């Protein structure tokens, strides 16, 4: 039995593989394209040649030679049917440790498997029922996403507000599912630092107080139409496209410096550049708002309650000390 040596998600090996796959998983038009991508990964600098590749109903696959082992001609015919696409994905693993002993995630291999076209699924006796079950499960998961994080203490108004953000149309469901699978690691990692840079520069300090939440900035970056409708003044300045391109440039500069010094660097600007490439055609539905009842808000009572609680606590402390 061969010991599996996992690679960390922060390693150069993992980053190089993601450059080829574009994300944690990529779907290819043919099995030949999938194998070619794996060969490219294994040909990258110092990539561990013993890193496992397994295929559905195949077992271990060796892609390090001129041909794959077993040869493609010996693979199950399902990989070569008309309309079949082939997926290559990391096999994720948690509970790893990095060089500093900190918890880390990573991968323990690649998996290869065929994906059948919709018409093939529909013509199978049980395929359509299975497809609906998959869609039902995913749709229910997506539909409730906005409601899950509402604190019960905020009451029904907050729940009603969140319900106005739930998907309704088919395109709404598709967008929500896409957003969940979207990789925002680089954006999330750089966001606080970048926002601080903006606030510390006299040229952009005034902009920071006008920026919406990070989630809304991300949405405005990805859709020019949404930014125009929701944050027209900021969009008229070219704010969101400029922010995205600047963040991508910063990441590229940091990567180049890390490579020059021989250090590992796991941030990638490709995702942000991809948002910009589709920004002009991306459309989001404008958020629907409900007016919450604020008649019960009383700032004075809040301060009295806070100060009163503090005085009560001080008193109790003195009594305890005298006893």
Q: 23 is written with which tokens?
A: 């994300």
pLDDT digits (tens, 9 = 90+) for 238-266: 999 999 999 999 999 988 887 777 676 77
pLDDT, mean of residues 308-313: 52
pLDDT at 120 over 80: yes
The Cα–Cα gap between 108 and 92 comes to 6
DSSP-assigned letter for residue 78: G
pLDDT digits (tens, 9 = 90+) for 146-156: 888 788 888 89
pLDDT digits (tens, 9 = 90+) for 38-74: 999 999 988 999 999 999 999 999 999 888 899 998 9
pLDDT at 181 over 80: no
| Band of pLDDT at residue 292, cut at 50, 70 and 90 | very low
CA angle (134 as vertex; 111, 283 as ends), nearest 5: 90
Give whole-number Cα distances, 300 to 235, 271, 296, 304, in Å: 38, 47, 12, 6
Cβ 21 vs Cβ 42: under 8 Å: no
The Cα–Cα gap between 177 and 171 comes to 10
For the chain, report the end-to-end CA distance as a whole number of angstroms: 70
pLDDT on residue 297: 55
Helix (H, G, I), strand (E, B) or coil at 67: coil
pLDDT on residue 322: 37
Please indicate whether residue 284 or residue 120 has the higher confidence score (pLDDT). Answer: 120
Q: Give percent of the chain with pLDDT exceeding 70.
A: 84
pLDDT, mean of residues 9-18: 86
pLDDT, mean of residues 12-23: 85
pLDDT on residue 299: 60
The Cα–Cα gap between 118 and 84 comes to 10
Give me the count of residues in the chain: 323
Mean pLDDT, the chain, integer? 84
The Cα–Cα gap between 259 and 164 comes to 46
The Cα–Cα gap between 241 and 93 comes to 35
Nearest to 47 by CA among 57, 32, 37: 37
pLDDT, mean of residues 2-23: 81
Range in 75-89, 232-246, 262-276 with the lowest mean pLDDT: 262-276
Catalogue the long-range contacts made by 225-230 (C-beta closer than 8 Å, 24 or more residues apart): 225/282, 225/283, 225/284, 226/282, 226/283, 226/284, 226/286, 229/286, 230/286, 230/287
pLDDT at 317 over 60: no
The Cα–Cα gap between 222 and 179 comes to 11
Cβ 157 vs Cβ 287: under 8 Å: no
pLDDT on residue 318: 40
The Cα–Cα gap between 267 and 14 comes to 11
Residue 8's DSSP bridge partners are 106
Helix (H, G, I), strand (E, B) or coil at 93: strand
| Band of pLDDT at residue 290, cut at 50, 70 and 90 | very low
Residue 266 burial (10 A CB sphere; 0-12, 13-18, 19+):
middle
The Cα–Cα gap between 4 and 50 comes to 8
Give whole-number Cα distances, 307 to 299, 310, 311, 312, 317, in Å: 12, 5, 6, 9, 15
Cβ 140 vs Cβ 177: under 8 Å: no
Range in 82-86, 128-132, 227-231, 282-286 with the lowest mean pLDDT: 282-286
pLDDT digits (tens, 9 = 90+) for 197-214: 999 999 999 999 999 888
pLDDT on residue 313: 45
Please indicate whether residue 76 or residue 181 has the higher confidence score (pLDDT). Answer: 76
pLDDT at 311 over 70: no
Q: 177 is written with which tokens?
A: 């599912």
pLDDT at 128 over 80: yes
Cβ 259 vs Cβ 252: under 8 Å: no
The Cα–Cα gap between 301 and 307 comes to 10
């Amino acid at each position: 039995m061969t010991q599996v040596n996992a690679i960390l998600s922060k390693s150069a090996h993992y980053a190089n593989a993601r450059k080829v796959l574009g994300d944690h998983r990529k779907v290819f038009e043919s099995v030949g394209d999938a194998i070619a991508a794996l060969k490219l990964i294994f040909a990258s600098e110092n990539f561990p040649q013993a890193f496992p590749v397994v295929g559905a109903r195949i077992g271990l696959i060796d892609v390090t030679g001129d041909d794959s082992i077993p040869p493609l001609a010996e693979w199950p015919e399902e990989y070569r049917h008309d309309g079949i696409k082939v997926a290559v994905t990391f096999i994720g693993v948690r509970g790893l440790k990095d060089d500093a002993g900190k918890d880390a995630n990573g991968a323990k291999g690649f998996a290869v498997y065929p994906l059948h076209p919709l018409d093939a699924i529909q013509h199978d006796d049980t395929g359509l029922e299975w497809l609906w079950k998959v869609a039902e499960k995913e749709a229910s998961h997506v539909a409730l996403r906005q409601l899950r994080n509402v604190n019960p203490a905020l009451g029904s108004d907050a729940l009603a507000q969140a319900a106005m953000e739930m998907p309704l149309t088919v395109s709404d469901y598709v967008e929500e599912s896409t957003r969940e699978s979207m990789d925002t690691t680089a954006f999330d990692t750089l966001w606080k630092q970048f926002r601080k840079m903006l606030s510390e520069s006299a040229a952009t300090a005034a902009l920071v107080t006008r920026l919406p939440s990070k989630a809304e900035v991300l949405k405005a970056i990805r859709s020019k139409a949404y930014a125009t409708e929701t944050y027209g003044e900021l969009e008229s300045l070219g704010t969101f496209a400029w922010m995205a391109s600047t963040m991508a440039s910063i990441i590229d500069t940091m990567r180049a410096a890390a490579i020059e010094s021989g250090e590992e660097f796991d941030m990638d600007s490709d995702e942000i550049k991809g948002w910009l490439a589709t920004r002009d055609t991306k459309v989001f539905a404008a958020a629907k708002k409900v007016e919450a009842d604020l008649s019960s808000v009383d700032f004075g009572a809040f301060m009295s309650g806070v100060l009163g609680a503090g005085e009560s606590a001080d008193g109790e402390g003195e009594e305890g000390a005298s006893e």
